[in-house]
Amino acid sequence: MTIAVLNQKGGVGKTTTTINLAAALAASGESVRVLDADSQQQAVAFEVPGVEVLCVEGKAALKKAVDKSKADWTLIDCPPSLLEAAPAIPLADLVIAPVPPRFQDLSGFAKLRQTVDAARERGNSHLRLRVLVTMRDVRVVLQGEYEAQLRAAFGDEVLSTVIPRAAVFEKAASAHQAAQQYAPSSAGAAAYRALAEEIRKLR
């Protein structure tokens, strides 16, 4: 299964989701390959057991890398631009859009959805889109309202797993690790394990 982790905004948790989902999927022994399609090359900085991270530059290289990948799971960490990320969409079976429940991050999702719908109509008929609520701070009441709005608007397209706002992700990243390696018993690591289970059911 090929998963594109995509949102045109930066700082929403794309790389964190790519790496932590990859780590959680690899933990059960399945092969996982991460393609870092962002020119900022944040994903290649991670060293996760069982996960091969490769840098890919340009549309042709990305297609070749996806076609060549024999891994059970191929995850694409996309650049923060719909235009630049567009080549990943026709290659994917699933687009995961990390969306923090903040006002400034909710806008723009409609455009992403249109882009995915267009790719589906252009022939990638089995392409699915799922929203992942990331960086959820339970202390912020307004975030609950935004999450409820997302669920009301997009229903089953919003994954039930919610990724909490937690310091463990930044700490783990500074050690070039997934939360799964850095602090396996943390709530953050548990959330990505739950996400992996939910994604497995979509396969």
Residues in contact with Mg ion by CB under 5 A are 14-15, 42
Residue 74 binds ligand ADP, judged by CB under 6 A: no
User: Using CB under 6 A, which residues numbered 47 to 66 contact ligand ADP?
Assistant: none
| List 166, 179, 195, 196, residue binding ligand ADP (CB under 6 A) | 166
Nearest C-alpha neighbor of 165 from the set 114, 100, 113? 100
Quote the least distance from Cβ 13 to Mg ion, whole Å.
8
The CA-atom distances, in angstroms, between 149 and each of 40, 79, 103, 106, 153 are: 32, 26, 11, 10, 6
Q: How many CA atoms lie within 13 A of 72 on its CB side?
A: 15
According to the binding rule CB under 6 A, does residue 10 interact with ligand ADP? yes
Instruction: Please name the helix (run of DSSP H) or strand (run of DSSP E) that holds residue 150, with its range, or none.
Output: helix 141-154
Backbone angles phi, psi at 35, to 5 degrees: -105, 115
Report the nearest approach of ligand ADP to the CB of residue 182 (Å): 11
Q: Which is nearer to ligand ADP, 120 or 171 (CB)?
A: 171
Stretch near ligand ADP under the rule CB under 6 A, chosen from 67-75, 109-117, 120-128, 158-166 = 158-166
Among 12, 94, 127, 129, binds ligand ADP (CB under 6 A): 12
CA 29 to CA 154: how far, in whole Å?
Answer: 33
Beta carbon nearer to ligand ADP, 56 or 166: 166
